[in-house]
Amino acid sequence: MSTVEDTVEAQFIDLGVSFEKQTRIPFDDWPWKKARSHKPKCDFYLPDGKIYVEVKGFMTIHAMSKLSWFCRQKSINYYILHGTEPDWNPQINSPINNCFENFSGTIKQAMENMIAFQAKELKWLVENNPSASSDLSLGRLKDYISTRITEYTNWNGEWY
């Protein structure tokens, strides 16, 4: 497990959120499947809300494509928990926005605060509205990608 996943696990324990680690996601087919592929896994599964949680520490275009695909599948509740890049905004459309977190300070403090906020949000989702997890994550992913495209355009003058 990564440091980010260790931090998420500690948050879940502190909040009393039931979880399973490295759980297979129930799909028999997916766009990147190859002949010898195993079913995809998520980092955490929250059985009380039936939410599959993927913890990201760094985004690649490949990861963003996969995450978007999972968020769009209506048969599961999927949540992207990202805690290492300041351009990921976990407060977009959050049902717990009233407990605003400060994501500034040292990089370590900002990361810990982002993870803590998202763990609290997951607890809320499990207890109140698990089916909102995919749409929340997809909105944040779209915002993150838009930020990356703007950055690219600012540096290079155009987006292809």
Tokens in use for 110?
């900002």
- Residue pair 7/116 in contact (Cβ under 8 Å)? The answer is no
C-alpha 13 chain-centroid distance: 18
**Can you tell me the distance from the alpha carbon of 8 to that of 81, in angstroms, rounded to the nearest whole number?**
9
- Residue pair 25/40 in contact (Cβ under 8 Å)? The answer is yes
C-alpha 12 chain-centroid distance: 14
Tens digits of residue pLDDT in 105-115: 777 787 888 89
Which position has the token pair 């803590």? Answer: 116
Average pLDDT taken over every residue of the chain? 90
Give pTM, 2 decimals.
0.91
Tens digits of residue pLDDT in 14-39: 999 999 999 999 998 998 988 888 88
Question: Domains of the chain: which residue ranges?
Answer: 3-156
